[in-house]
Amino acid sequence: MRLRSLIASMWHPHKDPRWIAMAQTVAGRLAIWVLACLLVFAANRALLLPAAAALALYQIFPARRRLILCLASLAALWLHFPRGPAWAAAVASACLLALAFLVFLAARNFRRWPKSIQSRPLIALHALACLSVFAMWRWMPAEGWARAVLILLLASWSFLLWRFSYLVHAGRRGKIAGTGFLDHLLYLWPAWGGTSTPYGKGYEYLSERSAGEGDGIARSQLAGLKLLGLALLWKCVRYLLAAVAREQFPALSQLIGAGAYPLWVVWISLFLELVREVLDKGIYGHVVVGWLRLLGFYVFRNTYKPLLSRSLVDFWNRYYYYFKELLVEFFFFPVYLRWFKKHPRLRLLTATLAAACAGNIYYHVFRDWSLFARYGAVKGLERVAPRALYTLMLALGIFASMLREKQRRGREAAESPIVSLRRIAYVWTFFAVIHIWNVGPSSLTLRQRTAFFLSLFGIHDVL
């Protein structure tokens, strides 16, 4: 029992009163900072500098979190432009800060805008974003200082767009009244890192998940250390998997169009690709969310045991939580609350297609706008076509899963282990197979991917 208690205490330190008390001492705060830096250096050192500096100051001045995180955000913004000239980075940073301030003012004074914009604020925001990207690329100078600055701005738009969307959405709901720009700067360019998908969402969610003081901060930081440790563990597993499988089971992108491997090798490689994708998403997400928790925001994990999911919709919730939340917030609910209220199934189907399919495609088209700039509209659409098919299959699978789960409510307790394993295997197979149309590079055509899919079932030379 003592051994079991010790293991439970080490695995869940944020639930053990002894660890919580220790984390609130001076030595405990120092130990947390040292361990966090060591773990992140081993797991993902790219996220180390701004977050480590912010955590050091936060450990000393916990009441100054907002100011500390804003200063760290400015540092993260500056470090985002490592390749450009220093003067271009300074001008681009100033332009982005001015743009963020204007969006903040627009959100805080939301009720002063015309009714047409108040009814569709996010459409207005995204229309302006798309027009600005098109204009900057279309009329970019061939050389000179303006070109260097515009390139940096274009590279930053997709990172900021969805953070601006959360800001405008909060303004529409009246949730930012009485706040200042510094309250929002800390997540518009976060010190904890992230992608075009905002980990930790926006002001509302971060405010709700703030750890508070004393015990709350200690629990949050201990939970953050656990995530950083898990990120390092999964990184070791990822390297081991790559070392064992590299020769006999190639990556999925190498198999498509190759046609030189036995069918059993292809199928195993297909499932290994799914495991690799989950590990990659989990490693990066654990580091980012770990920093969020260390800095006093006890937010949900981005990836939480998706390979144990027994339904498609459960996998989608667990695999990439903050991307799913983005699609649900900005695409699913607006459609679900507006359309087909008298037809429940059609309403659910339309909202699911709007989120998992249409919203998914739009997100990636805006993020990868350079494909269209580089290859033109026709070839750009050809490169987007495989993902469009992937998102359609994803949406239909999620819709069918939601209907099935609704019918199964109340029967989970009677499920046998064999049935559970069968359901898990079905989830693995579905997501492994549809990933054929999602895996990079974008140069793999829709025809190549579909021909590879048919070859899984012994059908060749059809396309």
**pLDDT tens-place string over residues 64-104:** 888 999 998 888 888 777 666 777 778 888 888 999 999 99
- pLDDT (mean) for 300-312: 93
Please report the pLDDT score of residue 319 as a whole number: 94
395: pLDDT strictly greater than 90: yes
Please report the pLDDT score of residue 350 as a whole number: 95
Across the strands, what pairs with 428?
none
Please report the pLDDT score of residue 83 as a whole number: 65
293: pLDDT strictly greater than 80: yes
Three-class DSSP category at 462: coil
Cβ pair 436, 254 in contact under 8 A: no
| Segments of 128-283 assigned E as strands | none
Across the strands, what pairs with 297?
210
6: pLDDT strictly greater than 70: no
Which residue, among 149, 129, 127, 147, has the nearest Cα to 139 in the 3D structure? 147
- E strand or H helix at 372: helix 370-408
pLDDT band at 4 (very low <50, low <70, confident <90, very high): low
Query: Residue 95 burial (CB < 10 Å; 0-12/13-18/19+)?
Result: middle
| Residue 309: C-alpha distances to residues 205, 327, 363, 391, 424 (Å) | 25, 20, 25, 19, 6
Mean pLDDT lowest among 194-208, 318-332, 400-414: 400-414
In this predicted model, which residue has the larger pLDDT, 350 or 194?
350
How far apart, in whole angstroms, are the C-alpha atoms of residue 379 and residue 364? 16
Three-class DSSP category at 233: helix
- DSSP state, residue 214: T
What is the residue-averaged pLDDT of the chain?
A: 86
Cβ pair 401, 430 in contact under 8 A: no
- pLDDT (mean) for 305-321: 94
Please report the pLDDT score of residue 360 as a whole number: 94
End-to-end CA distance of the chain: 62
Residue percentage of the chain with pLDDT more than 90: 36
| Residue 421: C-alpha distances to residues 62, 391, 424, 437, 461 (Å) | 46, 26, 5, 26, 35
Two tokens at 305?
């045991």
Cis peptide before 441 (omega within 30 of 0): yes
pLDDT band at 148 (very low <50, low <70, confident <90, very high): confident
- pLDDT tens track for 215-248: 888 898 889 999 999 999 999 999 998 888 877 8
Please report the pLDDT score of residue 77 as a whole number: 83
Of the ranges 1-5, 250-254, 258-262, 289-293, the best mean pLDDT one: 289-293
How far apart, in whole angstroms, are the C-alpha atoms of residue 146 and residue 164? 24
How far apart, in whole angstroms, are the C-alpha atoms of residue 154 and residue 151? 5
How far apart, in whole angstroms, are the C-alpha atoms of residue 186 and residue 426? 41
Diameter of the chain measured on Cα atoms:
72
Q: Model pTM? A: 0.91
Two tokens at 442?
């974008």
Which residue, among 140, 141, 148, 133, has the nearest Cα to 93 in the 3D structure? 148
Cβ pair 332, 355 in contact under 8 A: yes
Which residue, among 112, 111, 110, 138, has the nearest Cα to 125 in the 3D structure? 110
The one-letter code for the residue type at 1 is M
Across the strands, what pairs with 210?
297
Instruction: Please report which residue ranges of 246-307 form alpha helices under DSSP H.
Output: 252-255, 263-294
Torsion angles phi and psi, residue 297, rounded to 5 = -120, 105
7: pLDDT strictly greater than 70: no
Please report the pLDDT score of residue 301 as a whole number: 93
pLDDT band at 20 (very low <50, low <70, confident <90, very high): confident
pLDDT band at 278 (very low <50, low <70, confident <90, very high): very high
How far apart, in whole angstroms, are the C-alpha atoms of residue 449 and residue 428? 19
Three-class DSSP category at 297: strand
Around 142, how many Cα atoms within 13 Å sit in the side-chain half-sphere? Answer: 0
pLDDT band at 434 (very low <50, low <70, confident <90, very high): very high
Distance of CA 335 to the CA centre of its chain: 22
Please report the pLDDT score of residue 10 as a whole number: 67
Which residue, among 438, 458, 460, 457, has the nearest Cα to 449 in the 3D structure? 438
Please report the pLDDT score of residue 270 as a whole number: 92
Which residue, among 154, 285, 248, 219, has the nearest Cα to 14 in the 3D structure? 219
Neighbours of 461 (CB within 10 A): 7
